[in-house]
Amino acid sequence: MERPDPPIIRRIVSGIQPSGKLHLGNYMGAVRNWIELQDRHDCFFFIADWHALSTNYERTDRLRNHVREMLLDWLSLGLDPGRCTLFQQSHVLEHAELYLLLGMMTPVAWLLRNPTYKDQMVQIENRDLAMYGFLGYPVLMTADIVLYRATHVPVGQDQVPHLELAREIVRRFHALYGEVFPEPLPLLTETPKLPGLDGRKMSKSYDNCIFVSDPADVVWEKLRTMKTDERRKRRNDPGNPEDCPVFSLHNVFTPLPVQKDIDRDCRTAAIGCIDCKKILAAGIEELLSPARERRKEIENRPGLLSEVLENGHSRAAREAELTIEKVREAMKIS
Ligand code: TRP
Ligand code: SF4
Question: What's the average model confidence in pLDDT over 105-125?
Answer: 89
pLDDT tens readout for residues 124-161 = 888 888 899 999 999 999 999 999 999 999 998 889 99
pLDDT bin (cut points 50, 70, 90) of residue 1 is: low
- The least confident of 67-81, 178-192, 224-238 is 178-192
Q: Of 91, 95, 96, give the one whose Cα is nearest residue 310.
A: 91
Amino acid of residue 119: D
Does domain 11-194+303-331 fall under CATH 3.40.50.300? My reply is no
Q: Mark out the alpha helices in the chain (DSSP H runs).
A: 24-26, 32-37, 49-56, 63-77, 94-104, 108-112, 115-123, 132-135, 137-146, 160-177, 216-224, 245-253, 256-267, 273-299, 304-330
Q: What is the pLDDT of residues 62-106, one digit of tens each?
A: 999 999 999 999 999 999 999 999 999 999 999 999 999 999 999
User: 232 CB under 6 A from ligand 2?
Assistant: yes
pLDDT digits (tens, 9 = 90+) for 4-41: 555 457 999 999 999 889 999 999 999 999 999 999 99
Residue 157 CA, chain-centre distance (Å), reads 12
Smallest-distance ligand from the CA of 33:
1
Instruction: Supply the DSSP string of 17-61, one letter for each residue.
Output: ---SS-BHHHIIIIIHHHHHHTTTSEEEEEE-HHHHHHHHTT--T
Given a cut of 90, is residue 187 above it in pLDDT?
yes
Convert 98-111 to b/e letters by CB count within 10 Å (16 or more is b). bbebbbeebeeeeb
CA of 15 to the centre of ligand 1 (A): 5
Find, among 260, 297, 295, 298, the residue nearest to 279 by Cα: 260
Collapse the DSSP code of 152 into the 3-class scheme (helix H, G, I; strand E, B; otherwise coil) and give the result: strand
pLDDT band at 3 (very low <50, low <70, confident <90, very high): low
Whole-number Å distance, alpha carbon 112 to ligand 2 midpoint, is 45
* Residue 280: HSE in the Cβ half-sphere, 13 Å Cα cutoff: 27
User: Are 247 and 227 contacting, i.e. CB atoms less than 8 angstroms apart?
Assistant: no
pLDDT, position 196: 97
**Which of 12, 142, 158, 159 maximizes ligand 1 atoms within 8 Å of its Cβ, making it the mutation to test the pocket?**
159
E strand or H helix at 14: strand 11-16
Answer whether 295's CB lies under 8 Å from 77's CB: no
pTM of the model: 0.92
Q: Predicted confidence band at 171 (pLDDT cuts at 50, 70, 90)?
A: very high
Residues with CB under 6 A from ligand 1: 13-17, 48, 51, 141, 144-145, 153, 155, 159
Q: Is domain 214-297 classified as CATH 1.10.240.10?
A: yes
Sketch the domain layout of the chain as residue ranges: 11-194+303-331, 214-297
Between strands 152-155 and 42-47, the pairing is unpaired
Summarised one tens digit per residue, pLDDT across range 293-322 is 999 999 999 999 999 999 999 999 999 999
pLDDT of residue 258: 97
Q: Within 10 A of 5 (CB to CB), how many other CB atoms are there?
A: 10
* Range 132-170 burial, b when 16+ CB lie within 10 A, else e: ebbbbbbbbbbbbbbbbbbbbbbbeeebebbbebbbbbb
For residue 305 and ligand 2, the question of a CB distance below 6 A is answered with: no
Question: 194: CA distance to ligand 2 center in Å?
Answer: 16
* 236 CB burial (10 A radius; 0-12, 13-18, 19+): exposed
Express each pLDDT in 241-297 by its tens digit. 999 999 999 999 999 999 999 999 999 999 999 999 999 999 999 999 999 999 999
Cα Rg, the chain, nearest whole Å: 22
Distance (angstroms) between ligand 2 centre and the Cα of 241 equals 6
Model confidence at 116: pLDDT above 80: yes
Ligand 1 atom 6 nearest Cα: 15
pLDDT of residue 173: 98
DSSP 159: G
Q: From ligand 1's centre to the CA of 209, what distance in Å?
A: 22
- Checking if the pLDDT of 44 tops 80, the result is yes
- DSSP letter at 263 equals H
- Position 8 scores a pLDDT of 55
Residue 128 is predicted with a pLDDT of 86
Residue 328 pLDDT more than 80? yes
pLDDT at 2: 59
Amino acid letter, 325: E
Most ligand 2 atoms within 8 A of CB, residue of 247, 267, 271, 278 to mutate? 247
Confidence of residue 122 (pLDDT cuts 50, 70, 90): confident
